[in-house]
Structure 1
Amino acid sequence: MAAQAAPVESGHAKMNSVDLNALTSQAREALANAPVVTVAPDAELTVEKAAVSVVSAAENEDYQAELAAAEAEKAAEEAAAEAAEAAEAAAATATSVDVPASAIGNSVISIASRYVGVPYVSGGGSPSGFDCSGFTSYVYGQLGINLPHSSGAQPGYGTQVPASEAQPGDLMWTPGHVSIYAGGNTMIDASKPGTVVDFRTIWQSNPTFIRMG
C-alpha cells in the first residue's frame, strides 16, 4: 500500500508557525537577527570522487626496502650464530698440550694462558678474537712492552737468542707467524683460522727466538 501522511489536527499549532506575541523581547530580537539560509529548488549537490591507485608489493619501493632490511638482519644473525658454532667446534677439537713445568709462574705465559679458547680472527687484537701478531702484541702490552700488530715487525723490538738459551715467554718467530715460547717443545699462539688460542707442540720449522724487555 502507498504510504499516506497523517492529517494535521486543527487544534495543534503547526511546526512552521510561531506566535511572536508570546515571545519575550530578547527572544524576538534573537529570532529577527537569526541568519536565514535559502537553497534554490534546482540546487545540485556535487561530490568529487578521488582517484585511488593501487601499487603491487613488487613495485612498492618502501615495502621492498623493509623486506630487504629484514632479510639482511636475519642473514647477519645466522652468520653470527654460525661463527659462534664454528668457534665452539674449533675449541672442542683443537689439539692442545699441557703447560710445561718450566713455564709455571712465568709472567708472560701466565697472562697468555688467560686467553686459551679465544677464537682466531684475522686482524683481531682483543680478547674477542686474535690473529698471531694481535695475540702476542696484546699479551706483551700488558707487561708494558708495546709491539706493533705485525708479525714481520715484532722481532725487531727484542734481542735474538739461540734456541739453546730460549726461555718461556720469549717471542718465537718464523716468516709470516709469531707465537710465544712456553718451554720444552711447546708454544702458545693464535694459530690459524678455525682454531683457538692454545698451548701446542711447536709446529714452526727452525723458529727464531726473541727476548723481549
Structure 2
Amino acid sequence: MAVSIGAALVVVPLSGAAAVAISGSNSPTPDAAAVAIQGTKYVSEVAQIGAPVAAKADASFQVETPALTVTVNPKPVVVYRPRVSARTVANSADVAQAIAGSSIIAEASKYVGIAYRSGGSSPSTGFDCSGFVKYVYAQFGISLPRVTGEYFGVGTRVNSPQPGDIIVTPGHVGIYAGPNLQIDSPRPGKTIQFRAIWQVNPVYIRVTG
C-alpha cells in the first residue's frame, strides 16, 4: 500500500487479507523484500527533511555591496584681474610719446599724483578738474576759465584732436593726450593721472594763446 507522508511517497508491504486482495487483482505483485527496503529508505529520507525552520524576527543580515568612490568637484578658482592703475598707464609708450610731442602734456605730467581737491587750483592745495587745466595752460601765458561750463565757449572746436587739446563734457574737463588717452584730475579720492577717455561724445577744443 502507498502512504503519502509530506512530499514523500512511502510503500508499506501488506500481509494477510489485504495482501491476498491485492494479489487477486490484475496489478503485478512486487517483491516483498524489495518493497520493504525501499519503504524504509523513504521513511529515513523524510525524517531527515525535518520541520521548516523559521527565521527570528530580530535576525540580522549582512549584504556585501561594492565600494563606492565619490568624487567632489573642486571649488572654482577665482582669478583676479587688477585694474590698470594710473602708474601703469603713466609708464606706457603712448604717454611717453605724448609728453615728447606736446609741451602742454609735458607740463601736465609734472603733476601726476597730486590729489583731487574741490576748488583747488595749485600744486600745493590740490586741483579740481578745471583748476588743473587752467593752471597748466597758465604756465604758457594762456588764460582759461575757472568754471568747466565756460570751456565750451573758448578756442576752436576740432574733430581731430592733438595731444595738448582740451577735452570737455558737461561737468568735466581734461587735457587730451592721444588716442583714447587723457590727463585730468578725476574726482575726490583720486589723483591727477593719465587714463582712458571715458566720456561719451566729448568736445575737443584747441587753444593757441
TM-score (norm 1): 0.53
Paired residue for 1:85?
A: none
Q: Aligned-pair distance for 1:96?
A: 5.1
Q: Partner amino acid for 2:119?
A: G
Q: Distance in 1 between matches of 2:156 and 2:96?
A: 23
- Report the identity percentage: 55
Matched, 1:172 2:137: no
Q: Could you tell me how far 1:103 is from its partner in structure 2?
A: 4.2
Which structure exhibits the higher relative contact order, with contacts defined as CA atoms closer than 8 Å and separated by 6 or more residues?
1
* Residue in 2 that maps onto 1:200: 195
Deviation beyond 6 Å, 4+ runs, structure 1: none
Q: Aligned-pair distance for 1:111?
A: 0.5
Q: Give the counterpart letter for 2:138 in structure 1.
A: G
Deviation for aligned residue 1:104: 1.9
Paired position in structure 1 for 2:144 = 147
SS in 2 for 1:104: helix
User: Where in structure 1 are there 5+ consecutive unaligned residues?
Assistant: 1-92
Distance 2:98 2:117 in 1: 29
Q: Residues of 2 paired with 1:187 and 1:96: CA distance? A: 14
Residue ranges of structure 2 left out of the alignment (5+ in a row)? 1-84
> What amino acid sits opposite 1:193 in the alignment?
P
- Return the match for 2:133 from 120, 131, 136: 136
Secondary structure in structure 2 of the residue aligned to 1:152: helix
Is the Cα–Cα contact under 8 Å of residues 101 and 163 in structure 2 kept in the other structure? no
Structure whose alpha-carbon radius of gyration is higher: 2
Partner in structure 2 of residue 116 of structure 1: 112
RMSD of the TM alignment (CA)?
1.5
TM-score by length of 2: 0.54
Matching residue's letter, 2:170:
P
Paired with 2:87 and 2:200, the residues of 1 have a C-alpha distance of 18
